A and B are shown apart, each in its own frame.
Chain A
Amino acid sequence: MTLGEIGSKIGYLFQNPSHQLFATSVKEEISFVLELKGCTKEEIDRKVKNSLETFHLLHLKESLPFKLSRGEKQRLAIAAVLINEPGFLVLDEPTTGLDMDRRKVLAGILEELRQKGIGMAVISHDQEFVKRHSDRIIKMSGGEIVEDCR
């Protein structure tokens, strides 16, 4: 399986969102995959607008991704991963840089995805977030599993 094939099935959020942003505008960052998939212009516009609204990025749609704040980059990276409609998600520290309100928004989106049957593995130090939204917690220390509770 190539990395591209894995990427079409699994959405991966990097720990540092700056490492996965490469487009010249926020809008293009989200529409990138849709254009390559051959979606129609109307479909792309609709999906991108929805995504920008959900992640409170509509006012930044023409901005350069590298000039965004850490929290904005994080939201953009999550939006870009979710636009691909992956079957499984791996999120590395998804709450870093998000304020309380945006954490709630993210939690709502993840809950929605969970109800749709999309599985996810969240790697996080945010214990409160993990306790509230997970159904299995695996604690690791020094590269080894020290606790596994469902």
Chain B
Amino acid sequence: MLKTAVNGMDPRTKLVIVLCLSTLGVFIQDIYMLTGVLLISGVLSTAFGSPLFSVVKKMRRILGLFVAIAVVQSIFAPSGESLLSIGGFTLITGGGFMKGISMVLRMSIVLVSATIMSTSNSREIIQGLVQWRIPYEIAFMVSVGIRFLPTLSEEMKNVVTAIQLRGVDLDKIPYKQRFKIYSCLVMPVVSGAMIKSRELSTAMETRAFRAYPKRTSYMILSMKPRDYATIIMSLIAGVVVLLCYYRPF
């Protein structure tokens, strides 16, 4: 039923939902509430038909990073009883561990809620922003950013493949040299992005981008009553949750 209700919603509505969820994720500290927000984000993301499971699969790769963040949080913000200590040095404390977990939950909320936006194409998002009176140049920059993200990750994969095809077995070389190799990944990606952005700006100027002060659009988005209702409900829900959290009755 939820799937039918959210089907074909305006990208601006989705943007408001994502903003509400990620704002809650940033401001709330309580682990149980954060878990609740994450669950709601997951349910909404699935209802919108976003590729949530493939995103979660991809997130498995950065699971190590999440664990590292949890441990670092635990070390630098210790509180409560000691859970793990080595040679008298307390490594993980109860309070620090909980802070680490809440950080991981917060990042997951931002990532999972952002998948809702992937159910609208970039043209719809840019049009939504333009109709919200955001200058076309800025809206266009957002869409270019969205478009280029997969290209950057593909370029990184290309470089890793190119390095391996030179006969370098990444798993067998010492860590010091491996670090040098990974530093090579940054160079082509950054320079490639700069070259591409220069070419793109030239191409845009040759096609008279910003030559006229007003632009018209072939695509016009129109908000339906359910979009307005969803936006109002999301905002009210967001404010109520924050009020309950900061000023409990």
Residues from chain B with a CB closer than 8 A to the CB of A8 are 167, 169
The yes or no answer to B247 lying at the interface (CB within 8 A) is no
What 0/1 pattern do residues 41 to 65 of A give for CB contact below 8 A with B?
A: 0000000000000000000000010
The reply to whether B173 and A36 contact each other, CB–CB distance below 8 Å, is yes
Taking the nearest CB of chain A, how far is it from the CB of B119, in angstroms? Answer: 31
A100 CB within 8 Å of chain B: no
Q: Return the chain B residue nearest A18 by Cβ.
A: B192
Among the interface residues B161, B162, B171, which one has the most CB atoms of the partner chain A within 10 A? Answer: B162
Q: In the assembled complex, which residues on chain B have CB atoms less than 8 Å from the CB atom of A84?
A: 166-167
Interface size class of A (residues with CB under 8 A): 20 to 34
Taking a contact as CB atoms under 8 Å apart, the answer to whether B192 and A66 are in contact is: yes
Q: Smallest CB–CB gap between B24 and chain A, Å? A: 42
Chain B residues with CB below 8 A from A24, complex form: 187
A21 at the B interface (CB under 8 A)? yes
A149 at the interface (CB under 8 A from B): no
Interface residues of A in 20-36 (CB under 8 A from B): 20-24, 32-33, 36
In the complex, A3→B163 CA distance in Å? 9
- Minimum Cβ distance to chain A for residue B157 (Å): 10
Q: Which of B163, B169, B177, B195 lies in contact with A5, CB distance below 8 A? A: B169
The CA-CA distance from A19 to B161 in the complex, in Å, is 9
Of A9, A22, A33, A64, the residue contacting B159 (CB under 8 A) is A22
- Name the CB-closest residue of A to B172: A4
Q: Are A2 and B163 touching (Cβ within 8 A)?
A: no
Q: Is A14 an interface residue (CB 8 A)?
A: yes
In the bound assembly, the distance between CA atoms of A66 and B191 in angstroms comes to 7
Candidates A2, A11, A19, A81; contact of B169 at CB < 8 Å: A2
A6 CB within 8 Å of chain B: yes
Question: Taking the complex as formed, is B203 at the interface, i.e. its CB lies under 8 A from any CB of chain A?
Answer: no
Interface bits B177-209 vs A (CB < 8 Å: 1, else 0) = 100000011011001100100000000000000
A2, A14, A64: the one within 8 Å of B164 (CB): A2
The answer, yes or no, to whether A76 is at the interface (CB within 8 Å) is: no
* Interface assignment of B138: CB less than 8 Å from any CB of chain A: no
Within 8 A of A (CB), among B144-175: 155, 158-159, 161-173
Q: Are B167 and A22 in contact, with the CB atoms below 8 A?
A: no
B residues in contact with A5, CB < 8 Å: 167, 169
Given the contacts A18-B192, A64-B191, A66-B192, A33 and B164 also touching, CB distance less than 8 Å: no
Report B-chain residues with C-beta under 8 Å of the C-beta of A81: 166
Please encode chain A, from 64 to 105, with 1 for each CB lying within 8 Å of some chain B CB and 0 for all others.
101000000000000011001010000000000000000000
Taking A4-B172, A7-B167 as known contacts, 16 extra A-B pairs with beta carbons closer than 8 A to each other, sorted by chain A number, are A3-B161, A4-B164, A5-B169, A6-B165, A9-B167, A14-B158, A19-B155, A19-B159, A22-B185, A23-B187, A32-B166, A36-B173, A66-B191, A80-B166, A84-B167, A86-B167
User: Can you list 20 contacts pairing A with B, beta carbon distance less than 8 Å?
Assistant: A3-B165, A4-B169, A5-B167, A7-B166, A7-B167, A8-B169, A9-B167, A10-B165, A14-B158, A19-B155, A19-B158, A19-B159, A20-B158, A20-B162, A20-B165, A22-B163, A22-B188, A23-B187, A24-B187, A66-B188
Closest 4 CB pairs of A and B: A4-B169, A8-B167, A20-B162, A3-B164
Mark A residues whose CB is within 8 Å of B. 2-12, 14, 18-24, 32-33, 36, 64, 66, 80-81, 84, 86
